[in-house]
A and B are shown apart, each in its own frame.
Chain A
Amino acid sequence: MQLENPEALRELYWRENRRWMLILGAIWFLMGLGCGVLWVEPLNQLQLGGFKLGFWFAQQGAIYGFIVLIFVYARVMARLEKRLGLEEPQA
């Protein structure tokens, strides 16, 4: 990408960042408070091995999901920075 207009570039970066935050934040909310708390009763009707599914989300699944979300976010941001030439100089 050309560096003609650094201001526009930085704005684009911030817009993309906010978009990813909204997407991943929504998943975060649905997975933790959604599956773990709000919809736990219907989910508990389903069984995952020896777990009721809602209970599994609340005590196991949500935590695994949170880890994935952070690494996905780190990955997309690193790519975005590379694409826009906004990578930090390695210390």
Chain B
Amino acid sequence: MTLTETTYWVVGASFALYILIAIRSRAGTTQEFYVAGKGIHPVANGMATAADWMSAASFISMAGLIGLSYNGYGGSVFLMGWTGGYVILAMLIAPYLRKYGKFTVPEFIGDRYYSDTARVVAVVCLIICSVTYVIGQMKGIGVAFSRFLETDYETGLFSGMVIVFFYAVLGGMKGITYTQIAQFCVLIFAYTVPAIFISLQLTGQPIPQLGLGSTLADGTYLLQKLDQTLVDLGFQEYTTSVRGSTLNMAAFTASLMIGTAGLPHVIIRFFTVPTVSAARTSAGWALVFIAILYTTAPAVAAMARLNILQTLQPEPGQYLAIEERPEWFRNWERTGLLAIEDKNGDGLIQYAADPETNELVTLDNDILVLANPEIAKLPHWVIALVAAGGLAAALSTAAGLLLAISSAISHDLLKKTFMPDISERQELMASRLAMAAAVLGAGYLGLNPPGFAAGTVALAFGLAASSLFPALLLGIFSKRVTREGAVLGMLAGLGVTLTYVFQHKGIMFIPGTQFLGDLPPNWFFGIEPNAFGVVGAMVNFAVTLGVTRITRPPPAEVQQLVEEIRVPVSSGHL
């Protein structure tokens, strides 16, 4: 069987599994559609959360971001930021929102801030975060299909839409939960198998997390070798190269952490477990399952980088001849992810930090994960598995996001705000229609990505951190915060973050419309736009608390609601 045929079989089998699950887990009530009937076991929900959380970006791009763009240590912001947020989620957000016990994040904000305006502002924030995020997933699906299955981008995107449509529209949260569990198994298997092989080949240690700290065949430590090789080529040391400044790294990490804790599609996963204490343990399990990938990724990053370096330069001063470059190298050149240019005409590839002399002119981040099995000369089925894993990561995250979007529309906008008289059956129908519309909308945006699609995932975190997170946190921990404070705070946080990003990256990311230029000297205290969410969050907190001081306190029943959500048992039960 050729590689493409194997890939079709593996991907086809995984899709058949998702459809089978979809047929067996149709939703019959709104409770099942929005929160899977609140009957999901905490470990199962942990797995589903892990798949919900780990996107195409985590699976395909993160190791490359760490190993190449952020040159090692700088990439730690992603590792710590995207895991540390779960501690905040488990301690400060998830248990209380689970106790609140309803269906959506805007619903909580609307009730806690006794205001339809707050609810609608929360819906707007949710939709901005989730739509920017979902575009990246749709693109990931299209790209994975076109690279591995040799279809064109549109066919790939369309196939992905059909699958998501099937289980999300039929099963809502219930269908999504069970498919996400299957998708987690596919993606984690696909990620760890090549990592184990590459670790074995380089260090003889089968556990990549340990392999990263082990010695190579020549007796030197892997990281030491990598540092040395990179320094020789004019790069910074892998294990110490800071991204920007210490302050920038701290702000970036903090933004990703609180953004994680404020993303609605993650929060609503904790509405599906039976109890408050299950919400806490479930967050722990989610992080266990996420950590399997997140502690493997830095090993993949360093090992794949070293592999590429050693392919290009087997010994110091000895370069790979262009004619002798390996098969995988030629394969990935065809996709445009790798490109060489023999600048000095010597027929050899000189890879260096200096852009003047560097002849490996394109080295895309995604190559580290995508080409890893071929570089390590692994069998076809492993390569096919990576394709199925990348698709599982993108599909599961897309489905979670689409549910957050559609439930905000059908539940918060229709049922709670504009058409309160509809029956449960009508609402269930409306949520299915909203889901169908969301799938089509996401597909459209995947086909015609707007100019701002490039920087979107990081933007989604900044916006969640600066708009929703402070409103949720203060809503739980303060009885005094008022609707005026929360609404103005959310708008201020959103506004500050968007302004900062747009002034450096262009309004709606349209090139040429930035008024300060994307240059480090123009950055506020050297904080890059992607790391600005934490500053937006501080502005939000300040505005909310300031306005609260000069407005009338919330009514007694809202203060009672806050009392209620803080304790697992309702006061009536005592």
Chain A interface residues (CB < 8 Å from chain B): 3, 6, 9-10, 13-14, 17, 21, 24-25, 28, 32-33, 36-38, 40-41, 44, 48-52, 55-56, 58-60, 62-64, 66-67, 69-71, 73-74, 77-78, 81, 86-91
Contacts and interface: CB of A to CB of B under 8 A. Distances in A.
A70 B568 contact: no
B574 interface: yes
A71 B281 contact: yes
A13 B280 CA distance: 16
Contacts of B29: none
A41 to B, nearest CB: 8
29 contacts: A3-B574, A10-B566, A10-B574, A13-B567, A14-B566, A21-B91, A21-B92, A24-B91, A33-B253, A37-B80, A37-B250, A40-B73, A50-B212, A50-B215, A51-B213, A52-B223, A56-B213, A60-B298, A62-B84, A63-B291, A66-B291, A67-B288, A67-B291, A70-B91, A71-B281, A74-B281, A77-B280, A81-B568, A87-B568
Nearest to A91: B274
Contact of B214 (A10, A44, A50, A67): A50
A32 B568 contact: no
Interface string B489-523: 00000000000000000000000000000000000
Contacts of B90: 70, 73-74
A32 B80 contact: yes
Interface of B: 38-39, 66, 72-73, 75-76, 79-80, 83-84, 86-87, 90-92, 95, 209, 212-215, 221-224, 239-240, 246, 249-250, 253-254, 257, 274-277, 280-281, 283-284, 287-288, 291, 294-295, 298, 563, 566-569, 571, 573-574
Given A3-B574, A44-B240, A50-B221, A66 B84 contact: yes
Contact of B246 (A37, A62, A78): A37
B83 A62 contact: yes
Contact of A90 (B214, B240, B257, B275): B275
Given A14-B566, A37-B80, A58-B79, 18 more contacts: A10-B563, A10-B566, A10-B567, A21-B92, A24-B87, A32-B80, A32-B84, A32-B253, A33-B80, A33-B253, A62-B80, A62-B83, A67-B288, A70-B90, A70-B287, A74-B90, A86-B569, A87-B568
The 6 lowest CB-CB distance pairs between A and B, nearest first, are A50-B221, A58-B76, A50-B213, A70-B284, A6-B574, A74-B280
Contacts of B298: 59-60
A74 B249 CA distance: 29
A67 B60 CA distance: 24
A91 B224 contact: no
A45 B253 CA distance: 23
A9 to B, nearest CB: 7
A58 B73 contact: yes
A87 B275 CA distance: 10
B295 A63 contact: yes
Contacts of A44: 239-240
A58 B213 CA distance: 14
A25 to B, nearest CB: 7
Contact of A49 (B66, B73, B214, B287): B214
A48 B73 CA distance: 16
B91 A73 contact: yes
A78 B253 CA distance: 30
B239 A70 contact: no
Contacts of A9: 574
Contact of A91 (B38, B87, B209): B38
Contact of B223 (A37, A55, A58, A90): A55
A13 B276 CA distance: 14
A10 B253 CA distance: 35
Nearest to A20: B91
A14 B564 CA distance: 11
A84 B73 CA distance: 45
Contacts of A28: 84, 87
B84 A70 contact: no
Contact of B277 (A17, A37, A51, A77): A77
A9 B563 CA distance: 12
B568 A88 contact: yes
A81 B278 CA distance: 13
A32 B87 CA distance: 11
A38 B76 CA distance: 13
